[in-house]
Amino acid sequence: MFELYLDTTDALQLARFNKALPLKGITTNPSILAKSGVGLKETLNNCAKILGSDARFHVQTVGNTTEDILKEAEQLHALPYDIVVKIPATEIGLAAIKQLNATPISVLATAIYSVQQGFLAALAGAEYLAPYVNRIDTLGANGIAVVADIQLLVKQHNLKSILLPASFKNTHQVMEIVKLGVGAITLAPEVAEQLLNHPAVPPAVNQFENDWKNVFGDKLSYES
């Protein structure tokens, strides 16, 4: 089952998009939390009130040694939520991911900018892989092609990882990635907004409304 996440901890945005989108949960990173100024536990509590108790939360570690990341992963896993521990796919991060593979702790390998990084994280046992589509594009490479190659390697080698691409800036990137058959994506609120709003739709709906009202006034369809 495809998993859709919102890449935010903003309560207003979450409440808004949770009405129309089948959100599985949220993804966060240290920059998102720092920008909000609200700590992790309060954030999780607030978001769970909006999304419900079965929502999944992807929460990133901040430690810069393998030992610290492992400690953080255990503490995050012990919180009373469905937590996936996000770990940057660096050398020390991959060492932590490899060790966590033997535990029940779910891990997302994040900050993936290359095919080899995604492949190594999948080999280390990450349950999810988060390649950064737009950030790769911004560096002059092709984010969609990087995701396609990682997806191919995961399939070819029968690896268990689910791709959860992140860092989108437009609907073209989102839909090209979804067409690759990835298992999940995470969207910033601005991109969710773009997906929900096509400029041709409001004029079309207004035309229907005007045509109807000209003949049937304020009656609803079943009242005519």
Q: Residues in the site for ligand E4P, rule: CB under 6 A?
A: 7, 27, 29, 110, 130, 132, 134-135, 166-167, 186, 188
Give one DSSP letter per residue of 108-166, joined into a string.
EEEEE-SHHHHHHHHHHT-SEEEEBHHHHHHTTS-HHHHHHHHHHHHHHTT--PEE--B
Cβ of residue 7: shortest distance to ligand E4P, in angstroms? 5
Distance CA 103, CA 74 (A): 10
Cβ of residue 189: shortest distance to ligand E4P, in angstroms? 11
Backbone angles phi, psi at 5, to 5 degrees: -120, 155
Cβ of residue 82: shortest distance to ligand E4P, in angstroms? 16
Nearer to ligand E4P, 63 or 212 (CB): 63
Nearer to ligand E4P, 7 or 10 (CB): 7
Q: Which of 136, 156, 159 is nearest to 146 (CA)?
A: 136
Nearer to ligand E4P, 122 or 188 (CB): 188
Nearer to ligand E4P, 189 or 212 (CB): 189
35 given a catalytic annotation: no
For residue 218, what are the CA distances in angstroms to 6, 205, 206, 210, 222?
37, 16, 14, 11, 12
Structure tokens at 12: 């207003």
Instruction: Report helix, strand or coil for 184.
Output: strand
Catalytic residue among 19, 35, 41, 86: 86
Nearer to ligand E4P, 40 or 212 (CB): 40
Cβ of residue 177: shortest distance to ligand E4P, in angstroms? 12
Cβ of residue 187: shortest distance to ligand E4P, in angstroms? 9
Distance CA 117, CA 110 (A): 10
Catalytic residues: 86
